[in-house]
Each structure stands twice: as structure tokens, then as C-alpha cells.
Amino acid sequence: MKVVGNINSIYGKYTKDVTTTKKATAVTNNKKVIQDKVDISFNAKKTTVDKAEVNYLKAKLNASNDRADRIADIKSRIEAGTYNVSLDKLADAILDSKRG
């Protein structure tokens, strides 16, 4: 990867949004225990939420596209006369719809 521009300004923007870690000291049974502490900036949290929302919307779009492809396939098979319906499945679906 080639970085073009002032590396300090790029690094400064990057470090502003990443997590910071600190060492915290706790006393347990007269012993000092060092624990890690992580603080996540607001922008980093927002980015994570935005990515999750984008992934959710992409999944919905893909599902919608898959459904449209499936419907187009069934339509073409009906028009060609090659679409066969299982009478058992049809009867079960009718009975299930009547049961509630």
C-alpha cells in the first residue's frame, strides 16, 4: 500500500477514531492486579453500527433479488408448460391455510 500525502495528518485522523487502551490497577486481597480497560470513541461506535445496518440492508436486498429470480424462473416454467405442482403439497398448503 502506498500512502500519499502528509502521514502525520492521516495518522492523526486514524487514531482519533480508534480505541484507546489503558491499564487500570485494582487491589484484590492486598495484591495489585493490573487490568486492561478499553474506551471506544463515539465515531468508532457509530461506524460499527453503520456497518451492521449496511450489512442488514445488503442481506435484505440480496434476499429480494433471490426472490425476484425465483419468481421469474417459475413464471418462465409456467409459460413453457414445464412447471409441475405436487398435489400433496398443494393439498397440505390449503389445509394449513384453513387451520390458521
Query: What tens-digit pLDDT sequence spans the chain (100 residues)?
Result: 555 556 666 556 555 555 555 555 556 666 776 666 767 777 777 777 788 888 888 888 888 888 888 899 999 999 999 989 899 999 999 999 998 6
Domain boundaries, given as residue ranges, for the chain: 7-99
How far apart (Å, rounded) are the C-alpha atoms in residues 97 and 85? 17
Sign of CA dihedral 69, 75, 80, 81: positive
Q: How many CA atoms lie within 13 A of 76 on its CB side?
A: 6
Per-residue three-class SS string for 72-83: HHHHHHHHHCCC
The pLDDT, as a whole number, for residue 20 is: 53
